Amino acid sequence: MVQTKLFALGRLAAGAGLCLASAAAWAHFPIGHCKALDETTVQCKGGFSDGSNAPGLTLDVISYDEKILLSNKLDKNSTVTFKRPPGQFYILFDAGAGHVVEIDHTEIDS
């Protein structure tokens, strides 16, 4: 009898856990952050809003006139390091259509 009750409680807890997990998995947005390691080098880290990493995610460095200056993929640590191009540019984390993050060159942390 006690075992049956425990089993029912266990099922209830598992169900609640799955519901919560599905709510957490409802949506996640790409996120990105870039900082200047020195005057010529920039390091960017990308991932998703649920805290997960995104190795292999495309990161493009694009000039204001829409020329792709550099195209990289995030490494296994979800980071990428590149030489800072001259002029005005922005960094684009691209996780697919509608799932992008833009970071302007003025928003790179020093």
User: 51 or 86, CB closer to another protein?
Assistant: 51
Closest approach, Cβ 17 to another protein, in A, equals: 19
Closest approach, Cβ 27 to another protein, in A, equals: 6
User: 70 or 100, CB closer to another protein?
Assistant: 100
User: 38 or 53, CB closer to another protein?
Assistant: 53
Contacts of 76 (CB under 8 A, 6+ apart): 55
Closest approach, Cβ 38 to another protein, in A, equals: 26
User: 35 or 40, CB closer to another protein?
Assistant: 35
Residue 66 is encoded by which pair of tokens? 């829409």
Please give the residue ranges that form the binding site for another protein (CB under 8 A). Answer: 27-31, 47-51, 62, 64, 66, 90, 92, 94, 97-100, 102
Phi, psi of 14 (to 5 degrees): -65, -40
Closest approach, Cβ 49 to another protein, in A, equals: 3
